[in-house]
Structure 1
């Protein structure tokens, strides 16, 4: 796979595509001055086709010397993304770059709108989570001329630079671990798998791996809304009420798994002899529970740090696989 870093689409290119002068394009984009409806339609069609983003600061940052780095992330309530920002900010500050961020709430349309807003300030780089974006987002990013860094997922087509690990591999490793431990009646508790595409990839790979061993997933509980300790607790309670004979449960992440852990403590369900629990992310709190959580630890801080270093170095397009670590813990 060849990764290419493209130059920004210019006002002149939009003018040429629309068959008008640059001043006319400028008037249309600023909705100021005189122009016909037909001219406006031609200009806006060219803008959309080329993926042009107006420069709101008239070139003050529109250069290779821009030190603004825009992070467009899904959440701040999930510790994963603050950890990424923590790793990146140290490197950016040392190199006199300024980080700004916006939160999408896992909404791809909101991500598209936020990317457009960020690109209008001509950042040196835009950093996003995952490699699934709307067609409009991808078009704008390719046409922006800035560096694009996608984090925490290598299971897809990178636009420029990708740093992280394979979620599919993590799902596979989690299933193999539970199977090796002798568990056969396995269930799943998770959150929105459509919006959180990375969790969806782990779950799909997990189920495929079980199927390869002729051990189909027994049952699942998908809780509406974002992942949280409370949703993990509710999800496991609902799953066990419906399918009480499970011997292991795989959770979409550690937040959910900790909720399941607290449910078991409250109901006197012995872990892991009666029910095994397995999470994902390797959060600090999971290491200090009375029984350390069995999970996959991801290099979140390192992901942010490596991404920031590649940005300040203006490194060539590349894919950096930082891997992950399976933590045996004491809950499985």
Structure 2
């Protein structure tokens, strides 16, 4: 019974006894049968983390935030990838929930009818992350992407730019990019400015993709004076294209991205961007799940909206 309590991290066991049991377990190479334990408890100490991509540099940082919290608990994150496809999200969610996890952390507020039904009937804590522009199933942690688009539009207009183009991921699959685009266009319209051009793409984000998109837009609309990108990686590619082709940044053309990726901190000139609070989102989402598991109390319905920070860098006129 003492060994069982130690291995399940339950009950009142002295630290000395706990260490002896764990040392013996390690020497024997013993691994508890979680499936057998789940039959009794109806739950395993896994947290299903469902995200669109791991190649996008945003989500590894979210995962870091989740892991920082869960490593101090009995819970372990298990990751499922949806590739921004609703039907893939359904399959991943079905498989994950069949293991009876202790909670689900899932990116976005938009889900198919089948996915929403599974989440609503799971009977475990659900935390939707990255976005607060909508109604959550249970709890949500993120930023308002519409507000992020609005704030960027205000800075663009204040700097005196008039011919703005948007370059981003294919919509409506990327709902958060869509909301930033909507916030941008609405705020610019209030300043009497309309989007002059746009270019959408599918597939991974990278420097080459940014260069290609920027070339297409500037050749098609040479009078464009500002390029707003849906993420920093394609924005960095656009910046390199401009520098290679003698385009004055930010005098002739201004640029801004989104996400505040640390990898690009060494760029010169420094890219204008907005930090999406990725690590903090992961922290707070994991804290909700861990707290529910730790004390068994109902911590559902939490709505945590973080405030992204705008960095005008060197590519947006002051």
Which runs of 5 or more residues in structure 1 are unaligned?
Answer: 1-55
Map of 2:173 onto structure 1: 195
Change (3 A) 1:61 1:303: farther
- Root-mean-square deviation (Å): 1.6
Map of 1:321 onto structure 2: 305
User: How many residue pairs were aligned?
Assistant: 277
* Separation (CA, whole Å) in 1 of partners of 2:181 and 2:189: 12
Q: Secondary structure at the match of 1:60?
A: helix
Do the aligned partners of 1:61 and 1:123 also contact (CA within 8 Å) in 2? no
* Separation (CA, whole Å) in 2 of partners of 1:232 and 1:112: 31
1:296 to 255, 274, 281: 274
Q: Secondary structure at the match of 1:313?
A: helix
* Separation (CA, whole Å) in 1 of partners of 2:108 and 2:122: 19
2:260 to 282, 285, 293: 282
Superposition pairs for residues 140-219 of structure 1, below 5 Å?
140-219=118-197
Q: Secondary structure at the match of 1:168?
A: helix
* Separation (CA, whole Å) in 2 of partners of 1:267 and 1:61: 64
Q: Secondary structure at the match of 1:69?
A: strand
Which runs of 5 or more residues in structure 2 are unaligned?
Answer: 1-33, 293-298
Change (3 A) 1:65 1:136: closer
Shift of 1:117: 0.4
Map of 1:259 onto structure 2: 237
Shift of 1:223: 2.2
Shift of 1:222: 1.2
TM-score normalised according to structure 2 size = 0.84
Shift of 1:226: 3.3
Superposition pairs for residues 34-49 of structure 1, below 5 Å?
none
Q: Secondary structure at the match of 2:121?
A: helix
Map of 1:307 onto structure 2: 285
State the Cα deviation string for residues 13-38 of structure 1 (Å, max 9, x = none). xxxxxxxxxxxxxxxxxxxxxxxxxx
TM-score normalised according to structure 1 size = 0.80
Map of 1:67 onto structure 2: 45
Q: Secondary structure at the match of 2:286?
A: helix
